[in-house]
Structure 1
């Protein structure tokens, strides 16, 4: 839908030199590597708290929870396992305020899956993470810690978006982007309730990644189609519960509830997605599904007469 009052967008967004420049994703990658380097010496809880904002989100135990609930800050336990991770894929919004990395994870030297972190630049210029989550997608064949991550190119320049008549008047680019992505999420949920594979293929970016555990990361159209066959035929995706958008309005992350059936049993969890405004519209550049722990087995009925 085109909006006639497109040039009512705040002038600063049209002429700011900072937004016209290509941001440096190396800052985000450096923050992730520094975060990972702190974990062995500081411990998981202390390093996670050091590098996150106070209201950072993790999906744990089937719920979206704050960092302090999942990892209360404290000294490293003597028997804590060695947790290591490294970036294989990274990107940053054109406005330079929101970025991400994702890559392999190892526990006591054994590769166990992938992490996915959303980073936000702070007022003092530092980077802190606002979301961190894991996936059981295999890391066996991904490049190791000494490799350089693949970089996602930034979205189209804002002036091109304005000329296309996208952002409405009296709404910031970030607000407009979040509204637009929530509309996309609702459409994806409707389509996934009928055929999740077709629904996802319609919105996955050609240069994006998809995590379908326990398979390796799916990269590219052919890999997407194959990986999506490993998920149930349909999903029940709930409305977006949270997330955030870049100042520029070109990068948006979301999370929300998901439901499906597996082996005849109802399962629940959360979806987490990263959307980018590309030349062809909004596309998912990274998607993961975090299952909730399965319900405990039902207790057997008491014996008759007991």
Structure 2
């Protein structure tokens, strides 16, 4: 899967980012522009193959026990476009032919003070879950019920979410470095936002039922009102419970 991500990035550098995104997107792939849209429909509106100056590198990855579903995340930037940088998040699904296609791709304006990741670097990986709940359908039901329960906890769902954070969780928030580990994630969540999914738009799980991707609308307190955006979250089955291993918020433009 990481090799597929690197091949995807290399293709974008050679042919252009639009051409690469078309080639590596699954038929049902979703991106944010700024709202969720089918990736192929969105890309069809862009003439040409796109610039070759979009650069991204995987810095962390997680994969299901079956080796057929997972995610990568890491820094991205548009060379020559000041200010267009952050961390991307891509969810991958293995295809019937054995290859990989992405089903969700979106980034947020993480400010990463560290050095860039080498294209061939050995990157840390999320520990694989020892077991799931038996099927994708069961996992979707269980995580869907968890998300609904957290939403009911409004106006303060944060306390319920904090104890759901895995020890090795990663949080991506615009304007802040990526938070790695539960202590850093808890601090960042308390300083920014960790909120419930107002409206789930997509919940998809690995066949073994050990990893679940959730995309939904969300909102969080900001100033005297609430800011709206989208939340992308990955749950992993750990022990006898579900834990959040990745959480990203992408604000809608004001």
Instruction: For residue 237 of structure 1, give the secondary structure of its aligned residue in structure 2.
Output: coil
Q: Deviations over 1:16-73 (max 9, x none)?
A: xxxxxxxxxxxx0000000000112211211101001122001221x21110233226
- TM-score normalised by the chain length of structure 1: 0.76
Whether 1:137 aligns to 2:110 is yes
Please say if 1:254 is aligned against 2:214. Answer: yes
- Deviations, residues 221-277 of structure 1 (Å, cap 9, x unaligned): 220121012225x84631322131111000110111112332224321111100100
TM alignment of 1:109-124, pairs within 5 A = 112-124=85-97
Taking the aligned partners of 1:193 and 1:71, their CA distance within structure 2 comes to 38
CA distance in 2, matches of 1:209, 1:123: 30
Moved over 4 A (4+): none
Q: Paired residue for 1:211?
A: 172
Alpha-carbon contact 1:86-1:105 (below 8 Å) kept: yes
More strand per residue: 2
Contact 1:192 1:200 (C-alpha < 8 Å) held by counterparts: no
- Residue of structure 2 equivalent to 1:103: 74
TM alignment of 1:291-302, pairs within 5 A: 291-294=251-254
Q: Corresponding residue for 1:54?
A: 27
Distance in 2, matches of 1:54 and 1:245, equals 17
RMSD (Å), alpha carbons? 2.0
Secondary structure, counterpart of 2:200 in structure 1 = coil
Structure 1 gaps of 5+ residues are 1-27, 159-166, 295-306
Structure with bigger gyration radius: 1
Residue 93 of structure 1, CA deviation: 0.6
* Cross-structure match for 1:270: 230
- The CA deviation at 1:192 is 5.3
More helix by share: 1
* Deviation, structure 1 residue 194: 1.3
Of residues 33, 41, 64, the one that matches 2:6 is: 33
Q: Distance in 2 between matches of 1:140 and 1:81?
A: 24
1:290 maps to 2:250 = yes
Tell me if structure 1 keeps the 8 A contact 2:168–2:180: yes
1:153-232 matches, within 5 Å, as 153-157=127-131, 167=133, 173-191=135-153, 193-196=155-158, 198-232=159-193
Contact kept, 8 Å, 1:104 with 1:142, in 2: the verdict is no
Equivalents in 1 of 2:224, 2:41: separation in Å?
33
How many residue pairs match? The answer is 250
Partner SS for 2:75: strand
Structure 2: which 5+ residue stretches go unaligned? none
Q: Any idea what SS the aligned residue of 1:194 has?
A: coil
1:215 alignment partner, SS class: coil
Aligned to 1:161: none
